[in-house]
Structure 1
């Protein structure tokens, strides 16, 4: 099919269905999809079904009309057994038509649980092991993280986890730009795993010399914002980063920024394995990670900035194991419900220590280690201020990070894992 662009949308579907499509049906179809959907053939060739692992194609209007009729009669169900309530004006299907995925607001709904079928064999499949995690993360970001605050100009996630003050602006922007230096200079596809809304200009620049940016995320709210920002350059896919709906060796490069450590501990290597699987030979990728409480430099800084917190942490290490476990469980309950006992949405995080990278990540992927940013947001907000020469201090720190990237990647807060797929096993240059 080459570079031909396939067009399918609500208006085209109605035209091809002819007079048999009622006025009510036309209103429903136009409500769930923009007037036209442009899906380049090369993007279509990139996709695979997250259940069957087979290729996907756009459903023609007549077949889709029959499928929507099945929705009306209750014959179509999601793979988790729930009845499908929504009609679609565009959809993707497996070659035999047994599993179908909707397209909503131009976003490809390729999450395993959202697959639709009339075939009983797929309803008997066990649920995805990541389903509970997916629901939790999606709920947090749809309802909290990617909602705007500060008069609609800042995302809640950015306000929570980033230092957006003017005094820190040059430093954090320089850190974001470091990712681009470890990506190919150009290519067809850049995968942004857990892309969010691509909220920073430095993030958008990563794909400037690529034909398409594949934005993969579990949050439909984030993908709608990303699609608005990127336009036709962005291909937005609702999916699980631990089960990417992409063919093996199909992308030129990937980035995964502050994503992996929000997965359960046992799923983090699996997710990186998926990134590796879809990376083509000689492709490159970057994972931005955190050492959590295992950052030597930030632990030293925290002793000065947060002495009470440091004493509590030291006390936990000295407590008998049973008491420490009870304390940790209480803190976990408070994080989930708040001190008032009212349930709140929280975001899971599990940061492995350096030993995990050394013993598992590096041997498996030959991933090199370097520095993304050595300073944590909490320490920056406590120590860095204009009146104390904050900009000059950050410029000095930035220079040290550039000069000694391995040291600050090992002992700072946020390392980068650098991937380079060379040959069958691949390796990364330091």
Structure 2
């Protein structure tokens, strides 16, 4: 990018960058953020530049593109992305932007193609991004090799596909190795998406994540979910009862017998994995607590596997049970608008109508997602008021929210200020 373009793109946010650093450095830890973080368009633009264009994002599941030529698309802010399965099973990710005049190449959410062909002027790309055809009107000196698709960093582990839009992605290897280990029993090469849904919440993406990171609200808002879910998932949680601790001890012995990992693992505040029981006698997140799918996942021999909970900031949380799994993806659409996509996974050989009923499988989380949407939207409406000021989080019930806000503040400060801000954080 030349200096003129750099000025046009970056200078309008220069003062907001300074203000954001000031607000984050002076914020009171353990409190919600100042109002602009939840509703200001300029700060939202910074969120997209400094978080969603620099951190690793959950994009989708590898099972969604099982064969050569299968693709899926998503939008990260103003950046359309295409993820495609190439030759020899390799997964590639590119900006979904033709190098001719910038048209989107793939206009559907999912599909299968032999080549990536621009619908505008039929420029044609190989699945590895190489430009193969640009017509005969570009001139004799036109060099196809100079106009391949612009790549996006992509990594896979445990059936998850992660992308990163920055030139220098942060390290993620340790988490991916652990994710692969924890999902080995599920044999993620043998799963499929049974059903999926997307809802748009009229709320800032951080409010969506904050709501997910606590169950303080569950008792008053999620009757369907609490048919199966225990509000906490750690015996060190100050709310954990002796009954819960006894249940954990029994279930961990069962999981050891199945050679299934369950230990709590953390990677800073960005990633968290732990297996925890559901309510005693409950084996799945269904209305009656019974399996939603008769065919168990992977090599598992019991449906009573509790829930393997996986957190990946900034945009995903997940539940893996014995019979099916539920994965969630969050993508910001605007300062006060967020898309939440939910996918229910089952064994690839499970037969709809025989082994599982999609409506039964999705009923709990359809209800929970809609309830969470209403909570986040009411939260947003209140925050927009001139009466709003940051309020205190409960260190007992909302420690997960505190961790998320701390992670967000640290990543924003480091990405905005580079080494100087990192040094200030270390010294402070």
RCO higher in structure (CA 8 A, sep ≥6): 2
Q: TM-score, normalised by structure 2?
A: 0.25
Q: TM-score, normalised by structure 1?
A: 0.25
Greater helix fraction, Structure 1 or Structure 2: 1
